[in-house]
A = this chain, B = another copy of it.
Amino acid sequence: MPEFLSLSLPEPGLDRWLQSLPADRRPAVEHVPTEGALGRVLANDVQAPHPLPPFARSTVDGYAVRAADTFGASPSLPAYLHVIGEVRMGEEPALRIEVGQAALIHTGGTVPPGSDAVVMLEDTQTMSEGEVEVLRPCGVGENILQQGEDVQENEIVITAGCRLRPQEIGGLMALGITQVPVAARPRVGILSSGDEIVPPDQELGPAQVRDVNSYSLGALVAQLGGEPILRGIISDNFEALAAAARISHEEDDLVVITAGSSVSARDITSEVIASLGEPGILVHGLAIKPGKPTILAVADAKPVVGLPGNPVSALVAGRLVLTPTMRYLLGVSQEDWQPQIKARLSTNVASETGRQDYQPVRLQRREGQLLAEPVYGRSNLIFTLVRADGLILIPPEATGLPAGQEVDVFLF
């Protein structure tokens, strides 16, 4: 297996569809307080209004000096300097260091005018009031953080499309930027179709099951930075599904329909998707398992996705398709690195060639080894995924993987 396998091997259909989405789309922008912007995607480049640090600062506790005054200093022949005062934290230094002078300074303090180096306290000795002995020479700039060493004035410090992490939040605050323009959370309409499906708060009739996909896909959308818009449970007929899909297509940035389970219900779903706009369905079926009956369409420049109705297929294929789709809608510019856990297969895993198999696995430590144990279950069984920690990918050319094989586990 390639060393840096991503969660999805390139899937020709998915890639083709992603390429066909309008390249010039710009997400809607909203301004939010930086304090609460964790995980949001920056909509515009941010420029530094001033340098950081804003002034030269000491990186140690010690004495601000003129470096030249310490040349040749040693424990046996110290440089004697006259201490003219103390640089107080947060206050502009009122003093100026002249030849033969020094001032006490604390870590983070403003380097006073006239001085060009800071001697560490450990390299000094105080013998008499108002005088300090410097025991070693100090180079120009030593123990000083220069103005602009972190960030220059007007430098672009964070580029559009960056997902904000704790360090970006902190960095923006350091620059006094307390509001940031971010991509609005894309609205993702989710339609669940099926005559047997009822809402979760309803008692089950004898042939009914509750809606799973609206909520698992809704949580997935939220995880990926979108706003799920639950469009409800629609019965398996063209008119009802088409009416609901049209509203979602009009109001949302992405339409996701989970098809009813039967072939005829799937046919209705694909007819509805085809009816939403041009060019219509671009991909009908992906070479993946689970998730083969996935439909990828573009209707009047908006992406539309049809996912299988089985909860496991819907969630596994949904993650695969929606991860890059949400990146597109949010305008994410950097690569989303896919971290993995390396583990060894506890048993052989069978697979068919010609398709990418996503096998749920549970991680277990046994005798100092990390094992990936396949969790089997048909794709109707949502708790199969509850029992799993992640997925392994069996590439299309493989007929399976042997016990003991090292695999990359992609956590959910």
Interface residues of A (CB under 8 A from B): 3-4, 34-35, 38-39, 50, 52-55, 57, 59, 61, 88-93, 106-110, 121, 145, 149-151, 157-158, 165-171, 173-178, 194-198, 200-220, 222-223, 236, 260-265, 309, 311, 315, 335, 337-342, 363, 370, 377-378, 380-386, 388-390, 409-412
Residue of B nearest to A311 (CB): B170
C-alpha gap A403/B194 in the complex (Å): 57
C-alpha gap A50/B206 in the complex (Å): 13
Tell me if B204 and A263 are in contact (CB < 8 A): no
Tell me if A35 and B209 are in contact (CB < 8 A): no
Tell me if B200 and A178 are in contact (CB < 8 A): yes
**Residues of the B chain whose Cβ atoms lie less than 8 Å from the Cβ of A158:** 386
A150: which of B121, B264, B338, B384 is its contact (CB, 8 Å)?
A: B384
C-alpha gap A267/B208 in the complex (Å): 66
Q: In angstroms, how far is the closest chain B Cβ from the Cβ of A194?
A: 7
C-alpha gap A208/B92 in the complex (Å): 9
Which residue, of A57, A89, A410, has the highest number of chain B Cβ atoms within 10 A?
A: A89
Top 5 nearest A-B pairs (CB, nearest first) are A170-B216, A339-B339, A106-B262, A167-B385, A166-B219
**Residues of the B chain whose Cβ atoms lie less than 8 Å from the Cβ of A217:** 166
Question: Known: A171-B212, A219-B169. Contact between A3 and B342, CB under 8 A?
Answer: yes
Tell me if A215 and B167 are in contact (CB < 8 A): no
Q: In angstroms, how far is the closest chain B Cβ from the Cβ of A151?
A: 5
Tell me if A377 and B38 are in contact (CB < 8 A): no
Tell me if A170 and B212 are in contact (CB < 8 A): yes
**Residues of the B chain whose Cβ atoms lie less than 8 Å from the Cβ of A390:** 337
**Residues of the B chain whose Cβ atoms lie less than 8 Å from the Cβ of A208:** 54, 90
**Residues of the B chain whose Cβ atoms lie less than 8 Å from the Cβ of A157:** 383, 386
Tell me if B380 and A412 are in contact (CB < 8 A): no
Q: In angstroms, how far is the closest chain B Cβ from the Cβ of A264?
A: 7
Question: Known: A89-B236, A412-B166. Contact between A171 and B262, CB under 8 A?
Answer: no
Q: In angstroms, how far is the closest chain B Cβ from the Cβ of A327?
A: 16
Question: Known: A216-B166, A386-B167. Contact between A263 and B90, CB under 8 A?
Answer: no
Between A and B, 25 residue pairs with Cβ closer than 8 Å are A4-B370, A34-B200, A35-B218, A38-B219, A50-B204, A52-B381, A53-B380, A57-B380, A61-B262, A61-B263, A89-B196, A89-B260, A90-B197, A91-B207, A108-B309, A110-B207, A166-B223, A167-B315, A167-B382, A167-B385, A167-B388, A169-B216, A174-B209, A337-B409, A340-B341
